[in-house]
Structure 1
Amino acid sequence: MAAIGFVVLGLAGLIIGGELLVRGAVSVANRLGLPPLVIGLTLVGFGTSSPELVTSLQAALAGAPGIAVGNVVGSNIGNVLLILGLTALLAPITVQPAAFRRDGSVMILASALCLGAVWSGEAGRLVGAGFVVALAAYLAFTLIVESRAARSEAARVYAAEAEAVPGPEQPVWLALVTAVGGLVVTIFGARYLVSGAVSLAEAAGISETVIGLTIVAIGTSMPELVTSVIAIRKKQGDVALGNVLGSNIFNILGILGVTALVHPLAMPPEILAFDIWVMCGASLLLVLFAWTGWRIGRREGGVMLAAYIAYIAWLLA
């Protein structure tokens, strides 16, 4: 029972802390006059992925690579099949071709790099550094291109991601306190979650990797779900899609990269045997659905959601 309590407490801390961190950081950026394009592409992307980052770091340092890697792979699977599936069921998503061609291609490339790292059996500091450099290059290129075409559809999507962050504007000092407080809550939430997840895996007789792929991955993906639901309620389905694409890119290049840079990761054999292929398959399925008519409808959303339910059932069988 204590393990379950730690998991619940940790998930609550991650959700609350992640939201406070994003709200505070975006409010500070707005007060400092940063363009919405920059805020949406960087702060919102990093902020909504902060639960995954802190959790994977905590898990790696605690000697639980199954949770660290499973969190990243499971979050990417959940982002596409669960979050985007639910979003498309609520309202069909219109795909902006220019933004999707670039970000969708980068997501596929990042997925291929993740597959290579898992296939090699270990992600060392060199691999981690390469991932981080690749993420920095992607962000720099996107900012340069979209800043020159500030009225493009892609720039509008990134700016709308910043506007999708809920909450009133705050004075700079209060926004800073909110962001720092959110980071602290996220760190403690991750600590409780990892501790509870390890204990729960031992008590239930299942692997840490499965816990990472399911409970931990779903929990740390809640900020992306909130952002996507807010966007779809504002009839901005392309923002929800951009949020998922950006999150998946950040998860692999940023979270897996930083985690491997801080603490080299041994790749769990279970991930190579099954889950990495599901992640790559989900990415390709998203590309297929998006390119057929530049629209993800309710039928495609239903297929995604059904695939996710089948995947979880397979893991827990």
Structure 2
Amino acid sequence: MLFISLLGGFLLLLLGGDLLVRGAVGVAKRFNVSPLLIGLTLVGFGTSTPELVTSLQAAAINSPGIAVGNVVGSNIANILLILGAAALIRPIAVDPAALRRDGGMLVIATAACAVAVLAGTLSRPAGGIFVAALIAYIVFTYMRERRQPDASAELHAHEAEAVTPPTNLPLAIGLTVAGLAMTIFGARLLVDGAVELARGFGISETIIGLTIVAVGTSLPELITSTMAAWRRQGDVALGNVIGSNIYNVLGILGITALVLPVPIPPEIARFDLWVMIAVTALLLLFAFTGRRLSRIEGAVLAGGYAAYLVALGSGITSA
């Protein structure tokens, strides 16, 4: 029953998130919303919906280790596991202009996350600041790319055009509602299964949140990024991961804190936060120095994720 709950939660999150994005994009296109804005908002936030709903569900049942670990673990997995796998499939070219803007915002979001985690609690004021910063970033990016279209603007528009939405408005609305319902129910199954797994095997909820839950809720990014690399669209993979990590911190932690303030598990402040900061810096170093992520760098990232899992399994986080 435990593993059925976990597997069912993963599948519902994956399918529900896909239906939600397709339906929302279909509704937006029917109202003539520009592909650029759709790519910046609906597609970007849509792939982070599993993390959002899962963190909200975990916070609601007083499981901060899953609520916060899900976001921190997802950001670590996005960089080390997902980008590492994508770069191993095919080296990823980097657009310097887009990397300067989005990479800069990722640094700001990561620093803000560090301040909030070290404060010991994700408070409502912090959540409000996070959400306001995300909205400001989206508005700034949209206005700039609309005035001066560049490769980054084309990338965001391509993200919207890559989604195949229904052309019928009632069907698009129906898919949106169904996707949201499946995501909510899937998150509940996943969180309940994760809590049961932690209690049954004597593993901390934080470790479960950082690993199983984090990777499970990152499945949309994993599929999108690896398929993009396979199709020689590495810039989509890189943009998807950087955007997802920004949304995870500012959007998911921000909204979760606004709904319900969350205490920070001490082990995340001691260890996992610093891992997230280190791998973010490593990604930007790789991307800026060679203007691409090579297969060797992909292997370093993927190997780093294996080392991270070993560290968690060895109990270093509780030292």
TM value normalised by structure 2 = 0.96
> What does 1:102-121 correspond to in 2, within 5 Å?
102-121=101-120
Counterpart amino acid of residue 160 in structure 1: H
Tell me, yes or no, if structure 1 residue 238 matches structure 2 residue 235. Answer: yes
> What does 1:251-266 correspond to in 2, within 5 Å?
251-266=248-263
Question: Any conservation in 1 of the 2:165–2:172 contact (CA below 8 Å)?
Answer: no
Q: Secondary structure at the match of 2:33?
A: coil
Q: Using the alignment, how far apart are the partners of 2:177 and 2:223 within structure 1?
A: 21
Counterpart amino acid of residue 312 in structure 2: L
- Once the 2 structures are TM-superposed, how far is the Cα of residue 224 of structure 1 from its aligned partner? 0.9
- Once the 2 structures are TM-superposed, how far is the Cα of residue 31 of structure 1 from its aligned partner? 2.6
Question: Any conservation in 1 of the 2:63–2:205 contact (CA below 8 Å)?
Answer: yes
Tell me, yes or no, if structure 1 residue 11 matches structure 2 residue 31. Answer: no
Q: Using the alignment, how far apart are the partners of 1:64 and 1:154 within structure 2?
A: 38
Tell me, yes or no, if structure 1 residue 179 matches structure 2 residue 152. Answer: no
Q: Using the alignment, how far apart are the partners of 1:129 and 1:294 within structure 2?
A: 35
Q: Using the alignment, how far apart are the partners of 1:24 and 1:33 within structure 2?
A: 14
**Runs of 4+ with >4 A deviation:** none
Question: Any conservation in 2 of the 1:15–1:223 contact (CA below 8 Å)?
Answer: yes
- Could you say which residue in structure 1 is the equivalent of 2:123? 124
- Once the 2 structures are TM-superposed, how far is the Cα of residue 168 of structure 1 from its aligned partner? 5.4
> What does 1:1-317 correspond to in 2, within 5 Å?
2-150=1-149, 152-165=150-163, 167=164, 169-317=166-314
Question: Any conservation in 2 of the 1:39–1:162 contact (CA below 8 Å)?
Answer: yes
Counterpart amino acid of residue 229 in structure 2: I
Superposed CA offset, 1:236-267 (max 9, x none)? 11111111011000000000000001000100
- Could you say which residue in structure 1 is the equivalent of 2:317? none
Question: Any conservation in 2 of the 1:164–1:230 contact (CA below 8 Å)?
Answer: no
Q: Please, which runs of 5 or more residues in structure 2 have no aligned partner?
A: 315-319
RMSD between aligned alpha carbons? 1.1
User: CA, structure 1 residues 133+168, in 2 after alignment: closer, same or farther (shift >3 Å)?
Assistant: closer
Q: Using the alignment, how far apart are the partners of 1:242 and 1:161 within structure 2?
A: 10
- Once the 2 structures are TM-superposed, how far is the Cα of residue 169 of structure 1 from its aligned partner? 3.8
TM value normalised by structure 1 = 0.97
- Once the 2 structures are TM-superposed, how far is the Cα of residue 278 of structure 1 from its aligned partner? 0.6
Q: Using the alignment, how far apart are the partners of 1:70 and 1:287 within structure 2?
A: 23
- Once the 2 structures are TM-superposed, how far is the Cα of residue 28 of structure 1 from its aligned partner? 2.0
Question: Any conservation in 2 of the 1:36–1:162 contact (CA below 8 Å)?
Answer: yes
Aligned residues: 314
Q: Using the alignment, how far apart are the partners of 1:83 and 1:164 within structure 2?
A: 20
Q: Please, which runs of 5 or more residues in structure 1 have no aligned partner?
A: none
